[in-house]
Structure 1
Amino acid sequence: MPIGFPTSVRTGGRHRKAKAPNPALRRAVVLAVTAPVAGTILTGTSAFAADKAVAKTTATTLDTAEQQIADNLNTRVQDTRLGSTVSGVVIDAKSGRTVWGHDATTALMPASNTKLGTATAALTVLGPDHRFTTKVVYGDGTLTLVGGGDRSLTSDDLDALAKTAVAGLKNAGLTSVKVQVDDSLFPEPTLATGWNDGYYPDSVAPVRALVVDGHHVTDTSVDAGQTFAKLLTDRGVTVAGDVTHGTADTHDVPVARHESDKLSTLVKHMLKVSDNDYAETLLRTTALAAGRPATFEDGTAVVRQVLTRYGVSLDNFEIHDGSGLSRANRIPAQTIADILDVADDPRYSQTLKSIIDGLPVAGEAGSTLGPEWGRFDTADSQCAVGKVKAKTGTLTGAIALSGLTKAQDGAWKIFSFIENNSAAAPGDTKDALDGLAATVNGCWA
């Protein structure tokens, strides 16, 4: 039975006094990031960021439970399994008060914690109800499969497209066609700054607008086209020649279309299993929706703009991709915690709720915090199973864990821990970070 939060462990709308939703919020951000800015980050105070600041108190006195958290973390952050390069912070979700910090503004390699910024930008610019469309069009004896950036497209989806296409062809008396794929929505795949050739196609597939069943191959578009061609053949239509790249003509006749699940659902999947391919596709489609080219550079520029509009400090912040595979990325724990704080704010829940909902739960099978990954299974951290939601991050020399938990004082705490260059085995370092999360929860006192 999957482990989830008990009724008392709810997400969204639980720790701040919620204000009336502002329907202009997403429009304001979209307008801001789509305005011509000559490649610069927008400046000036955001109205809703300023409003958020008003909701925070200036109290600095820690309660007894918080003081215990701070004292224990001061000791446990010295764990040799964490090495000497750690950025960490714990904040009270209601007041914004810093409960504990350790080099919190020091920028470190965040690994997949980068996906939290990607998700925030995608949901804000595209909207949580956005769906990705894959189309089939016909012209001059050729069926063109047009990619729309749907990383969730399956063989069954293609089969449904093929069924509709075959019915149309047979009604027109056609029994043979050529097949081409159009993935022109995205530019030619390239490596992001901080990536290496070894990432293709194992850790991440080349970023194309067309892929089926999440296949990790060099040309996912032709691979999808070949699957589609076989499905056509299985239904009695002859496919002439090989599947090739091409571009649909504006005069081609629409034949069939498939829409993905809502973006909010895709974001939850991306965060739950830390899917690099989803992240890089979302980065590019977010750039397009903001009126910019679908490149790493423009996608990350939009992420920075959106975070700025939410009032998140970008001091010492540097990203080059959407997934966190880039070894050139640098983000402080304070910034990651602030992103989570925004996502968890009831005023923004209509747009960003799926970020909190998508965070893996400690001990949740099928997520990156599941027992199959050896998480929260030590004597120190087992007590936090089902009580912590957090995004993981793992690269060689970089391990991160950032999320939220309800502490012993009954108040929700947001935390972020990022470690770089520990000499310990990665599994041991993860155990140490799980222990820090259990410390914030208070079950490991």
Structure 2
Amino acid sequence: MPQLLLILLFSILNLSLAAQVSVQDHIRNFAQDPDLAGAVISISVIDTETGRMVGGHQSQLTCIPASTQKLLTTAVAMDVLGEDHRFTTKLLVVGTIEDGTLNGDIHIVGGGDPSLGSPYLDGVPGLNKMMDRWRSAITSAGIRKVNGRVIGDGSYFGTDGPAGGWPWSDIGNYYGAGAYGLNIHENFYFLDFLQRGRVGDIPPIQRTRPEVPGLKLTNELRSGPRGSGDQAYIFGAPFGYDNFIRGTIPVGTGRFTIKGAIPDPALFTAQLLCRELKEAGVSVSLPAESNRTIGDTDLAKGQVIDTYISPPLSEIVDRTNLRSNNLYAEVLLREISKARGVETHELSSTKVVKDWLAAAGLPVGAVRLEDGSGLATRNFFSAEFMTSFLRHRRGELRWRASIPLAGRTGSMRGYLKGTVAEGRLRAKSGSLGAVRAYAGYADRKDGSQLAFAIMVNNFTIESRDLRNKMHLLMLEICRAQL
């Protein structure tokens, strides 16, 4: 037999064998990868129409889900609150206005809106525009002098901002900013450093944007190797202004920016408005305060001079899932609880979500939820539970559109481009220390739709290497034999 013909026959045989490799085969190969020796792995892939298991590995084993948990919180929020639900923020004056002088206080009363003053959400007035709006409302009310205070009122959700299970190394950073009744600028500030050219040197702080009055930053940061990325952490407590910065940023010659959590968003909002008024020539006799520091005030006697209404919940859910924003997820959890009549001091409880899941007929016996975002390290459930949930929600098209689409949107925008998965695979990612997970849907060319969950805990390889392996597995879920 001629050599060329023999090569051709072997090629055809290899292609035929490759075409017969099933989703289950790829899952088995993934789970047996030597690079993942010792890792805890739970995988489930099912047909959403029939519920048939297409493939799996230890599918009933519970794992830490990280941010894939946001799928649960957002789905419950869409169902309980409705996709058109909106948050309101009110500006009130309490007192009397005589000859341009307010003898009383100005109150900014939050209604939990996580997008207030957001620098990222389209159509939302940014921080400066919100301050301009409120200053204009105050001067339009004839006020030229405030014989009193500007007060930020975050009592809507109480003081329980960060979830109790969040690590100390997280809560001073932007992704660990707590959820309060009055949130502003997504409760974070930019922190700029001037890079240094030698490993081990201390990169000096340049500034915070915006300025956070009273914030004290002790800089223990060091310069790391070139290309080492952001390894910096801000250590600070809610309502605490004495913060420490540790870790590294890479050497260089430019500016390097990280983001920190605003310690007291309600007070910060009042301070900003107070400064805005003074710059506009409206004097304020007393320092800005928050409801937490002055106690309860009878706002029933107040006059509302501005009401700001947030975008609809569907857009809030989009930002929650597409950008994996923890603040938005925690606000949704608290708003769900509030809608169910839960008392203020228990709004951060996850009981309402678990009750909803149980009422939907989902098996919650081995489910533990400590927050709404997945940042807590003691959340856990199995891949099989997640795919059961995804099957239950398969018909909710508006919610499903909030899940990142491979090659197109959100955290999956830059991945699996030019493959069969582009535009067909929706996947919510999750990552914590030694935790990586993906969950979502695959719309295959054969017309079937699969729900999948891939959860890996306690791995030791580089996180980006595991991410690449998981992306390859998701690609096979889209194209391999069922």
TM-score, normalization by structure 2: 0.71
Q: Tell me the distance in 2 between the aligned counterparts of 1:330 and 1:408.
A: 33
1:360 aligns with 2:398: no
Structure 1 residue 344 displacement after superposition: 1.8
| Superimposed CA distance per residue, residues 373-396 of structure 1 (whole angstroms, 9 cap, x where no aligned partner) | xx447xxx9552333111000000
Query: What is the match of residue 103 of structure 1?
Result: 58
Structure 1 residue 175 displacement after superposition: 5.8
Which of 286, 306, 313 is matched with 1:241 structurally? 286
CA contact (8 A) 1:106 1:316 kept: no
The aligned runs of 1:262-411 (5 Å cut-off) are: 262-294=312-344, 299-345=349-395, 349=396, 353-364=397-408, 367-371=410-414, 375-376=415-416, 382-411=419-448
Structure 1 residue 296 displacement after superposition: 6.4
Q: CA 1:320–1:285 in structure 2 vs 1: closer, same or farther (change >3 Å)?
A: same
Q: CA 1:298–1:131 in structure 2 vs 1: closer, same or farther (change >3 Å)?
A: same
| Deviation larger for 426-435 or 118-127 | 118-127
Q: Tell me the distance in 2 between the aligned counterparts of 1:151 and 1:308.
A: 28
| Deviation larger for 131-140 or 182-191 | 182-191
Query: What is the match of residue 427 of structure 1?
Result: 464
What percent identity do the matched residue pairs reach? 28
Query: What is the match of residue 130 of structure 2?
Result: 157
Structure 1 residue 315 displacement after superposition: 2.8
Structure 1 residue 217 displacement after superposition: 1.0
Aligned residue pairs total 367
Q: CA 1:413–1:388 in structure 2 vs 1: closer, same or farther (change >3 Å)?
A: same
Letter in 1 for 2:140: A
Q: Tell me the distance in 1 between the aligned counterparts of 2:345 and 2:79.
A: 18
CA contact (8 A) 1:285 1:294 kept: no
| Deviation larger for 143-152 or 180-189 | 180-189
| Superimposed CA distance per residue, residues 86-111 of structure 1 (whole angstroms, 9 cap, x where no aligned partner) | 11111111112111121111110000
Q: Tell me the distance in 2 between the aligned counterparts of 1:296 and 1:368.
A: 32
| Deviation larger for 175-184 or 302-311 | 175-184
CA contact (8 A) 1:66 1:99 kept: no
Letter in 2 for 1:162: R
| Deviation larger for 193-202 or 173-182 | 173-182
Q: CA 1:297–1:148 in structure 2 vs 1: closer, same or farther (change >3 Å)?
A: closer
Tell me, which stretches of 5 or more residues in structure 2 are unaligned?
1-17, 96-103, 118-126, 189-260
Q: Tell me the distance in 1 between the aligned counterparts of 2:75 and 2:337.
A: 13
Structure 1 residue 401 displacement after superposition: 0.5
SS in 1 for 2:385: helix
Letter in 2 for 1:282: L
Q: CA 1:81–1:343 in structure 2 vs 1: closer, same or farther (change >3 Å)?
A: farther
CA contact (8 A) 1:67 1:99 kept: no
Structure 1 residue 191 displacement after superposition: 4.6
Structure 1 residue 298 displacement after superposition: 5.4
SS in 2 for 1:316: coil
| Superimposed CA distance per residue, residues 162-212 of structure 1 (whole angstroms, 9 cap, x where no aligned partner) | 322221134xx7565520111111222355343222222213113211122
Q: Tell me the distance in 2 between the aligned counterparts of 1:151 and 1:274.
A: 13
Which of 194, 201, 220 is matched with 2:172 structurally? 201
CA contact (8 A) 1:438 1:444 kept: no
RMSD (Å), alpha carbons: 2.5
SS in 1 for 2:166: coil
1:144 aligns with 2:188: no
Q: CA 1:147–1:65 in structure 2 vs 1: closer, same or farther (change >3 Å)?
A: farther
TM-score, normalization by structure 1: 0.77
Q: Tell me the distance in 2 between the aligned counterparts of 1:85 and 1:285.
A: 34
CA contact (8 A) 1:184 1:209 kept: yes
1:223 aligns with 2:268: yes
SS in 1 for 2:142: helix
Query: What is the match of residue 69 of structure 1?
Result: 23
Whose Rg is larger?
Answer: 2
Letter in 2 for 1:69: V
Structure 1 residue 161 displacement after superposition: 2.9
CA contact (8 A) 1:86 1:103 kept: yes
Letter in 1 for 2:465: D
Q: Tell me the distance in 2 between the aligned counterparts of 1:71 and 1:175.
A: 72
| Superimposed CA distance per residue, residues 294-339 of structure 1 (whole angstroms, 9 cap, x where no aligned partner) | 4567531000011112222113100101110111111111122222
Letter in 2 for 1:76: F
Letter in 1 for 2:185: D
Q: Tell me the distance in 1 between the aligned counterparts of 2:157 and 2:177.
A: 14
Tell me, which stretches of 5 or more residues in structure 1 are unaligned?
1-63
Q: Going by fraction, where is helix more abundant, 1 or 2?
A: 1
Q: CA 1:344–1:274 in structure 2 vs 1: closer, same or farther (change >3 Å)?
A: same
Structure 1 residue 66 displacement after superposition: 10
Letter in 2 for 1:335: F
Letter in 1 for 2:141: G
SS in 2 for 1:192: coil
CA contact (8 A) 2:163 2:370 kept: yes
| Superimposed CA distance per residue, residues 131-175 of structure 1 (whole angstroms, 9 cap, x where no aligned partner) | 0011111113100001111110012234323322221134xx756
1:183 aligns with 2:154: yes
Q: CA 1:85–1:288 in structure 2 vs 1: closer, same or farther (change >3 Å)?
A: same
Letter in 2 for 1:370: R
Query: What is the match of residue 20 of structure 1?
Result: none
Q: Going by fraction, where is strand more abundant, 1 or 2?
A: 2
